[in-house]
Amino acid sequence: MKLIAEIEEEDLLFKLMHVLGATFYRHVGDDLVEVVYFSGEKVVHFKGKLNEEHEKVLESMAWKVSDIQVSEVEGTVKIRQ
C-alpha cells in the first residue's frame, strides 16, 4: 500500500516527513513554498506558506530545487536542481 498526499497544512507536512526519505523544496511566488517528500511508501506534496520556524527546519533538512513535478498517473516524482 502507498500513501500519496496533496496537502496544504504545514503541521501535517512535518509530521509525515521522515529522515529516511528525500525532501525537496522550491519557492513559488509570494512567500509560497512547494515541497515534495518521497519515500518508498509515500509521496507528500505540499504547496503553501510556512511559518518562520518551519522554513528554517525545511532548509536544514531538504534539498532546494528549481522544478518539482509529481505524476500520480506514472507514479513518479521528477525534480530539477
Give residue 29's pLDDT.
Answer: 84
Query: Cα–Cα distance between 11 and 66 in angstroms, integer?
Result: 24
Give residue 79's pLDDT.
Answer: 95
pLDDT in tens, 6-64: 999 999 999 999 878 999 999 998 889 999 999 988 899 999 999 999 999 999 999 99
Q: What is the pTM of this model?
A: 0.89
Alpha helices in the chain (DSSP H): 10-16, 52-61
Name the band, by pLDDT with cuts 50, 70 and 90, for residue 65.
very high
Domains identified in the chain and CATH numbers:
3-80 (3.30.720)
